[in-house]
Chains A and B, each alone.
Chain A
């Protein structure tokens, strides 16, 4: 069974640009959540989607947004990139409440 797939693996963008990251969950998983990992702040929750609806959102500015499609695939978008947005962005999928979350390998975003 295929795992969680995140594309692209690496990305370099310039300040002020926008970026879209993609996540394909494990087949049958309806929940997708996104996390930002940085050396200083550790792992921080961005948002979580279940059946195309955003259920929870972390404490991030409105420049960070996401969506989920009917096939459970999810995208996150960051507009007007700042240097501080450089991070590893991780996506995780889950079948439902209380289950284990399976993570993808992440997208390493570098803003220059």
Chain B
């Protein structure tokens, strides 16, 4: 079945450092890929997405490129802030059955801590 693998952390960085969170996936067909962020006590917020190979999703300074050849969707940000501290989830949506949405398969989540 479909699966998503990501580093679990915690990942601790200093403010203004460069961030990479690795994400690789296994899926049949051509899934859509997502990064979600979860702040303490809250639900998930969509950070960015990509629906086909070589697409780059971007939002709030975060970027990720859909790499079909390496089955990866790594999250990057050039300069992190304390407010970026949260748990980040990589996810995919398979295309089973056609039509409508198919649910999400999540990675375990990466706890990111940014120190001032």
Contacts and interface: CB of A to CB of B under 8 A. Distances in A.
A96 B100 contact: yes
Given A97-B95, A98-B93, A56 B43 contact: no
A62 interface: no
Interface residues of A, number: 30
A97 B101 contact: yes
Given A97-B95, A103-B43, A33 B103 contact: yes
B62 to A, nearest CB: 14
B102 A97 contact: yes
A83 B29 CA distance: 38
A105 interface: yes
Given A104-B43, A105-B42, A106-B43, A42 B109 contact: yes
Interface of B: 32, 34, 36, 42-46, 49, 51, 89, 93, 95-109
Given A31-B100, A100-B46, 8 more contacts: A42-B106, A44-B106, A48-B102, A50-B99, A55-B103, A97-B99, A100-B34, A106-B43
25 contacts: A30-B100, A33-B103, A43-B89, A43-B109, A45-B105, A47-B103, A50-B100, A51-B100, A55-B103, A56-B96, A56-B97, A58-B103, A92-B44, A96-B99, A97-B95, A97-B98, A100-B46, A100-B49, A101-B34, A101-B46, A101-B104, A102-B46, A103-B46, A105-B42, A105-B43
